[in-house]
Structure 1
Amino acid sequence: MVRILVTDGMEQTAVESLRQAGFEVVEQHYAPEELGEALKNFDIVVVRSATKIRREHIDKALETGRLKLIIRGGVGVDNIDVAYAMENGIQVLNTPNASSASVAELTIAHMLAVARFLHLSNVTMRQGKWDKKNYNGIEINGKTLGLVGFGRIAREVAKRAKALGMKVIYTDIRGKLDDAGEYEYREFEDLLRESDFVSLHCPYSCEYGPVIGKKQLEMMKDGAYLVNLARGGVVDEDALLEALESGKLAGACIDVFEEEPTHNEKLVNHPKVSVSPHIGASTVEAQQRIGAEIVDIIMNYQF
């Protein structure tokens, strides 16, 4: 019987579908020091963002040679040593289509929250304060949104931003894209200078480090907003705090952090920052779609 380890939870309908199809599904989270030993006894492992599968875990799994497939329930695979797994005959797949709408909606929600001080007034009103005069926000209608990366999620953000009256521009490592439709391409630095809101939709690379650091923040408009629902590490958190403290940026929207759970209390508690604990894909609908994609991958995998 094919054994599947689910380490970070999975939508229960999907779990039951796999069990009914004859797979053994074990739902269990392992500490990093225990994970490698556990992987020796499974054919497939399904993870989200909490579990990190590194070289040492893969080496342990190779002792039995049983593990054949790692599935990331979600988009980013930076929590998996993909190259090393593939080199050793272990396939790595993700579910890139499932969470785009949910992440896009949260992106817009964060932008509206920070533009209208909802992130702050939700706290201060519960403290008994009526700080109406301190919450003179801005409309996002008529503002320019710059998207760094123009993949699935960014395109969903673009559609929603356009409906709210924003001008949407994009940059992408692939250059100007033939299928970008009405959205205008900019070189990265030009996008930073032109945008009122800069939203990141690109992966993190250990090789290249942060996409947004002190230099890039200095290029941005005075009073602009930075939005990161992509990956922790894409933004230099110390540089971001400096830009917020100096008044260079009017605000920031952050769902992902360099370390998770984050211990960056200065960033989390900053009055100009709207924060959430990496919940971009945390909707009922997204989890159902992720579960369905995982089931489809496993059912069609050639064992």
Structure 2
Amino acid sequence: MAQPYDIVSSHKVSRSGSFAANLSFNQGMSLSTSPVLSFHSPPGSQSQSQSLANLARTKSLKPFQTADIKVLLLENVNQTGIEILEEQGYQVETMKSSLGEDELIEKIKDVHVIGIRSKTQLTARVLEAAKSLIVIGCFCIGTNQVDLQAAAQHGVAVFNSPFSNSRSVAELTIAEIVCLARQLTDRSAELHNGTWNKVSAGCWEVRGKTLGIVGYGHIGSQLSVLAEGMGMSVIYYDVIPLMAMGIARQVKTLDELLSRADFVTLHVPELPETKNMIGPDQFAKMRDGSYLINNSRGSVVDIPALVDAMRTQKLAGAAIDVYPAEPKGNGDYFNDSSLQSGKGAWTDDLRSLKNLILTPHIGGSTEEAQSAIGVEVSTALVKYVNEGTTVGAVNMPEVSLRGLTDQEPDHARVIFIHKNVPGVLRKVNEVLSNHNVDKQMTDSRGEVAYLMADISNVRQPEIKDLWQNLEDLSSRIRTRILY
């Protein structure tokens, strides 16, 4: 068998993992920090991409009305993401922690790009103050920490990383299943305190047990494969019909899953429909002595109801990685005096329970996942800033045009984010009427529409007038011109 070899590429990694021109990576850069693991590509891919690049080099576009792109990255974004943004020549400032609302309002005034993780809250008030902001990168799966509607109304696109930490969360869930079945965390804590307690009562193998997965998306489907490999039977519930991996079976209702599963694990988004979806009624339907794992969102499980189910021994154990309220930084903050949700205090109750694994929202906290997230989100940010591409945005229509090339020297890319009202396209085309529109695409999402057009025969002195004429349209939310 031929030995694999590294491909050193000068092309950009897109959100789908394919290659496209315009972004250079350091030689040998890998999503893994393993000293022996690196990227590999199939034979022929290098010559293929080089041939495409030689046909027409992608033109590097510059944003009009933005002298220097200022980037603020909070919450210790991974170095891979920082390097991608710095290589573009942007001004990048990094901070290890999140900021409160008032601090953020002061800090964000002249920022064009902000990158956050799960703790920073970008509220409507913060976004109102961010006059220069054009794009937000959530270096995580969730976007509930951002007011998406307010962002769209200000013409600010939001990107996240829905795929990159799926494996890390799935592996954590498998580890928790084994630890709960064997009461490993209790035995470890006892031995740390000097108590030797060798017992087998209430300890089980996971082989032959039934795992019920609620939410069969990227995480749930990977978990399904791992669990079957360990000899578990897998059933899953989702609001839409989904093809099973392996020999897993989809059930019709959540109640059916709860009544049949030995282990129930949750992998659903935070939505009004999922708030407290596991409460007293659902715990009553679960099998006596079963286990619950929540690595999704803190609002999905009614915590007081979970405490009651544990104390009455309805559940034999549980694992919780997410909470209705979470500290904004590391430290001695997981206690009733600093954390309360709508139903009051619950941290002391949780900490008092046996065979309950509590982890500080670390489902995606592996070196591999954070590195992959850094690449995925930063690449999306660069493509939006430099090219206006909204593919993968969670609050904007997905619009993309093929890149301009060096063979098109007198072209400009017009991006016009506007209210979704009649007559806008006619007025925009009137503004552009002195130029040839080579290609154009427009789409809408709710009250916001996104138009992108490449025009030719544009002289640089004309760009300011084009920009001002578009800005003067009553439907305008934000205008950008890349040239």
TM-score w.r.t. length of structure 1: 0.94
Aligned to 1:6: 73
Q: Is the 8 A contact 2:84 2:379 kept in 1?
A: no
Q: Is the 8 A contact 2:168 2:363 kept in 1?
A: yes
Aligned-residue offset at 1:85 = 1.4
Q: AA paired with 1:3? A: K
Q: 2: CA distance between counterparts of 1:200 and 1:208?
A: 10
Alignment equivalent of 2:219, drawn from 149, 153, 162: 153
> Larger deviation: 202-211 or 269-278?
202-211
Aligned to 1:221: 287
Aligned to 2:307: 241
Q: AA paired with 2:355? A: K
Aligned-residue offset at 1:14 = 2.5
Q: 2: CA distance between counterparts of 1:111 and 1:208?
A: 23
Q: 2: CA distance between counterparts of 1:220 and 1:276?
A: 23
Q: Is the 8 A contact 1:55 1:84 kept in 2?
A: yes
Alignment equivalent of 1:82, drawn from 141, 148, 169: 148
Aligned to 1:116: 182
Q: 2: CA distance between counterparts of 1:121 and 1:178?
A: 39
Relative to 1, partners in 2 of residues 1:206 and 1:58: Cα closer, same or farther, differing over 3 Å? farther
Aligned-residue offset at 1:234 = 0.7
Q: 1: CA distance between counterparts of 2:160 and 2:244?
A: 23
Relative to 1, partners in 2 of residues 1:26 and 1:206: Cα closer, same or farther, differing over 3 Å? farther
> Larger deviation: 19-28 or 188-197?
19-28
Relative to 1, partners in 2 of residues 1:178 and 1:127: Cα closer, same or farther, differing over 3 Å? closer
Alignment equivalent of 2:358, drawn from 267, 275, 287: 275
Q: AA paired with 2:174? A: I
Alignment equivalent of 2:173, drawn from 107, 110, 113: 107
Relative to 1, partners in 2 of residues 1:152 and 1:207: Cα closer, same or farther, differing over 3 Å? closer
Q: Is the 8 A contact 2:84 2:375 kept in 1?
A: no
For the aligned residue pairs, the C-alpha RMSD in angstroms reads 1.6
> Larger deviation: 218-227 or 84-93?
84-93
SS in 2 for 1:133: coil
Aligned-residue offset at 1:284 = 0.8
Alignment equivalent of 2:112, drawn from 19, 33, 43: 43
Choose between structure 1 and 2: higher helix proportion. 1
Aligned-residue offset at 1:290 = 0.7
Q: Which runs of 5+ in 2 are unaligned?
A: 1-67, 328-333, 336-346, 389-483
Which structure has the larger Rg?
2
Aligned-residue offset at 1:91 = 1.1
Aligned-residue offset at 1:215 = 0.8
Q: 1: CA distance between counterparts of 2:119 and 2:239?
A: 28
| 1:57 and 2:126 are equivalent in the alignment | yes
Q: AA paired with 1:162? A: E
Question: Residue deviations 1:45-96, cap 9 Å, x none?
Answer: 11111111122211222xx2x1111111111111111222123321111111
Q: 2: CA distance between counterparts of 1:51 and 1:24?
A: 21
Q: AA paired with 1:168? A: V
Q: AA paired with 2:250? A: Y
Q: Is the 8 A contact 1:116 1:135 kept in 2?
A: no
Q: Is the 8 A contact 1:146 1:170 kept in 2?
A: yes
Question: Residue deviations 1:250-293, cap 9 Å, x none?
Answer: 11011111111343122134112011110011111111101111
Q: 2: CA distance between counterparts of 1:33 and 1:68?
A: 20
Question: Residue deviations 1:100-138, cap 9 Å, x none?
Answer: 111111111111111111111111101100011266411
Q: AA paired with 1:184? A: R
Q: Is the 8 A contact 2:159 2:377 kept in 1?
A: no
Q: 2: CA distance between counterparts of 1:260 and 1:44?
A: 25
Q: 2: CA distance between counterparts of 1:109 and 1:275?
A: 13
Aligned-residue offset at 1:209 = 2.0
Aligned to 1:196: 262
Q: AA paired with 1:124? A: E
> Larger deviation: 35-44 or 113-122?
35-44
TM-score w.r.t. length of structure 2: 0.60
Q: AA paired with 2:148? A: V
Alignment equivalent of 1:293, drawn from 376, 380, 402: 376
| 1:230 and 2:299 are equivalent in the alignment | no
Q: 1: CA distance between counterparts of 2:351 and 2:113?
A: 36
Aligned to 1:32: 101
Aligned-residue offset at 1:171 = 0.7
Aligned-residue offset at 1:159 = 1.0
4+ residue runs of structure 1 moved beyond 4 angstroms?
A: none
Q: Is the 8 A contact 1:229 1:254 kept in 2?
A: yes
Q: Is the 8 A contact 1:253 1:274 kept in 2?
A: yes
Q: 1: CA distance between counterparts of 2:303 and 2:200?
A: 26
Q: AA paired with 1:277? A: P
Aligned to 2:247: 182
| 1:15 and 2:82 are equivalent in the alignment | yes
Relative to 1, partners in 2 of residues 1:208 and 1:158: Cα closer, same or farther, differing over 3 Å? closer
Q: 1: CA distance between counterparts of 2:231 and 2:103?
A: 51
Q: 1: CA distance between counterparts of 2:183 and 2:138?
A: 35
Q: 2: CA distance between counterparts of 1:24 and 1:254?
A: 39
Q: Which runs of 5+ in 1 are unaligned?
A: none
Q: Is the 8 A contact 2:274 2:300 kept in 1?
A: no
